[in-house]
Each structure stands twice: as C-alpha cells, then as structure tokens.
Amino acid sequence: MVKPLNRQAIEGLISQARSVKGKQFELADNRVAGLRIRAGERSTTWLLCARLHNGKRTRIKLGSWPAMGLSDARDAARAKHIEVIEGADPNEEKREAQREAERAARTQRRLSDVLDDYERVKLSQLRSGAQCRRGIDGKCGLLRKFASKDIASIARSDIVDAVRKHAETSPMAANRYLAYVKAFMNWCVDQEVLEENPAATVRKPSKERTRDRFHTLDELLEIWDAMGALGYPFGPLFRLLIVVPMRREEVAAMSVAELELAPGGNPDEAVWTLPASRTKRGNSLRVPLSPLAVALINEGLAASDRPKDSPFVFSMTGDTSVSGYAKAKRRLDKIIRERREKAAAEAGCEAEEMEHWTIHDLRTTFSTLACEVLGADIAVVDRILNHVATATTSKIMRVYNKSELFEPRKRVMIAWAEMLEREIAARATKVGSK
C-alpha cells in the first residue's frame, strides 16, 4: 500500500537523500497514478511515469520542489496524463523544441559576431579600421543597439531610423557612419552572410560640404596664446600642429625614434621621418623641422608630466600616444571665451564669440596663409600637407610626379615658422606681459 504523500514525507525523503551521497530516492503519490517525487543530493524533482501509445514507458519532468508544491504537481501530472492518452509524447516534443532552437541558433548570426569577423578579415588591413568599427557599433555607432541581434533581422527601416536620429545631432558623422555600414553590409553579401544589403539605397542625411574655415593671424595669435595655458601634453602638441601642419594623429603619435633633432650635430638639419604605416596616403615622408618646431618637441620631451622613458613625445600613460583631444579642445575654447569676456568687460562692451573651429582647421589656415602671405607654391604646400597632389590639374603629373620636394618644403616650413615667431609668438609674449 502506498503511503500518503505530504510535506513531512517529502522532507524526510530529502533528508535521507542528502545523507547518502550518489544515490536518489523516490516516493509515489497515493492519489495521482504515476506521480512521483525524486530526491537527490542537490535537487528534488516531480516526475510522471506514464506509458506511451507505442507501449514504451517514459518519465516526464513536471517541476522542482519546493517551487512546485504538492497540489500543483498533482494538477500538472493530470494534465500531462491527458496529453499522453491523446497520443502525445511530451519528452519528444521538448527534445524537438530544443533541436529547433539549436538549428535556429546555427543559422542566426549576431551582428557583433559578424563584425568581429569583418574586423579580423578586412578592417585590420585598413588604417581607419578601428574608426570604421566604432562608427558601426561603437559607443556612438550607428547600429550599436542591434549588436546582439541577428544580422539578418536588421531591416532597411531600422537603418533609416538610426541614420535620421544620429543626423539630428551629428549630420556629417551620420554620413560617414552610413558609409561604413554600407561597406560592411556589402562585405556580408559577398560572404553570403546576407542575401542583400539593407543599407544599399539609404541616402546620406546631409549634403557634404568642404570646410573652408581658416584663421586670420590675429585669431591664430589668440589661439596660440591660449594653448600655452593648457600645459603638457596638449599645450606643446597643439602649438606643434600650428608649426608642423600634419594630421593630428600623425603628430600626436610622434615617437622619439622617428626624430633626428640634430643630425651630424647640425640642428638646422632636424628632420622627422614619418613612417608609411602612420600616414593617410600610406607613404613614408621626411618632414623638415624648423627651430621653432624643434623647440616645441624639446618642450614636450622635457615636461615633468611626461612619463619617463616613454617612446612617445606626447603621452599620458607612457605606453600609448596621447588621447582625449575633444576634452582638451573644450578646455581651449573655454580659455579663449573667458579671456574674451574679461577683455570685453574691461573695455565695457559685449564679448564676441569666436566662430566654431576644429583642430583640423589649422591645416587649412596654414595652406591659406602660406600661399597668400608667404607666396608659397601651392604644389609645395600640397606636399607639406601630404595631399595627393590636389593642386596639380594634370592627371599625368599626379601619377608621375613622385618628387618629395624636400628642399622647397623646408624653405616654406622655415619661412612659416619665422612668421609665427615674428607675428604670433612674439606678440603673444607681449600680450601675456600686460
């Protein structure tokens, strides 16, 4: 005769199972045929023993004690018993559901996983690879919220909506990020990850425009003076970007090994050899350094805040080149604004806001003033900026004129630095002494 099943009997069963390692014990219910509770060393489970239509016996898991109480277990056992009578096999249905889920998981690919493959195969070969990855699923990336979703589930409408929202605050960045997404989706089509590119027909949210912002000498004086208040590393770094108008990342990652500040003991022959791996064009370039540029580099090397033995001229960690440009630029803008407000208050007038500008505009400023004030040849200026000979209208010349123009570039760079010292640095010193 089966004894009545109650809480006391169940707790006694559990106590017995925990006292004997490696064994399981069962009790049958005296009310619902086939209902049993099995206790082991770690868990206690409700089971229904039933015979299927094919004559085979099976055990169907109903739930766990104490989450499922005795009354709930009996109700669950009766419901499952009816399913078995009607010809169902609950265990086979569960196994089939699991197999279906596994099949779906194999066919689905998360966006982040596909992007990892894309980065390994494609982006790692590009200088702008890290920037492309950030634009797709980085902190402000276009598809960041889809990172954990199946890539095939991302529709054109999702991309359109993401582009529209991003363009509300950063229209030009939205253009760039959309281009990164299109290139990535095209790669997915080539790799048969996707059947078609959902971003293919999505239009840029904003009309591209060429930046034409450049500074007057007076503005450059003001900016140069304010940069002196930033301290290391951004004070000398930003000033060096005025004197040596290369791209920000190229100057910021300048290493000591790339510099010859006094080759053969002659400081007038100082040169910075920029390796091909760090230029946008992928070409190695010897950059002539003026005495003013050498002075700023030495200022960075001698700064007390510079990590000792760092391979980089400008670094905050010692192991990596400097970062945090946006924060430093905001500090610089604040210094300029506060100085303007102070000067306006002393003059009893309203302070005028400086027109928005970026660090990249310093290159445009050099190009403009070098041509207009110094009378430099625009082809030489192109070489200084390491452009792809944009000033040369002849296609043949663009292809075959590979001259480094080192000496003409050196003359322009020295003339530029002398003008800065005369018109900017000297005047900034006078302003600071007032």
Q: How far is CA 228 from CA 79, 296, 343, 421, in A?
A: 81, 11, 18, 14
Q: Where are the domains of the chain?
A: 7-105, 111-190, 217-433
What pLDDT score does 387 carry? 81
Q: Give CA torsion, residues 16, 17, 19, 22, to 10 deg.
A: 150
**pLDDT per residue over 264-279, tens digit each?**
888 889 999 999 888 8
User: 344-374: buried (b, 16+ CB within 10 Å) or exposed (e) per residue?
Assistant: eeeeeeeeeeeeebebebbbbbbbbbbbeee
Q: Diameter of the chain by CA atoms?
A: 112
**pLDDT per residue over 164-214, tens digit each?**
999 998 888 899 999 999 999 999 999 989 999 999 999 998 876 655 678
61: closest CA among 41, 38, 42? 38
Report phi then psi at 214, rounded to 5.
-145, 160
The rounded distance, in Å, linking the Cα atoms of 337 and 226 is: 10
pLDDT at 397 over 60: no
Structure token pair of residue 156: 């054109």
Q: Which amino acid is at 369?
A: L
Q: Are 328 and 234 in contact (CB under 8 A)?
A: yes
Question: Topology of 217-433 in CATH?
Answer: hpI Integrase; Chain A (1.10.443)
Q: What percent of the chain stands above pLDDT 70? A: 91
The rounded distance, in Å, linking the Cα atoms of 5 and 69 is: 12
Question: What is the DSSP code (8-state) at residue 313?
Answer: S
DSSP E strands in 198-355: the ranges are 259-260, 271-274, 285-288
What pLDDT score does 73 carry? 92
CA 399 centroid distance within chain: 35
Structure token pair of residue 340: 């303007």
| Edge-to-edge strand list for the sheet holding 285-288 | 259-260, 271-274, 285-288
The rounded distance, in Å, linking the Cα atoms of 147 and 115 is: 9
Q: Are 198 and 124 in contact (CB under 8 A)?
A: no
Question: What is the DSSP code (8-state) at residue 376?
Answer: -
Confidence of residue 398 (pLDDT cuts 50, 70, 90): very low
Q: What is the arithmetic mean of pLDDT over 7-24?
A: 89
pLDDT at 111 over 60: yes
Question: Which is the CATH superfamily of the domain at 7-105?
Answer: Integrase, DNA-binding domain (3.30.160.390)
**pLDDT per residue over 371-386, tens digit each?**
999 999 998 999 999 9
Confidence of residue 399 (pLDDT cuts 50, 70, 90): very low
3-state secondary structure of 2: coil
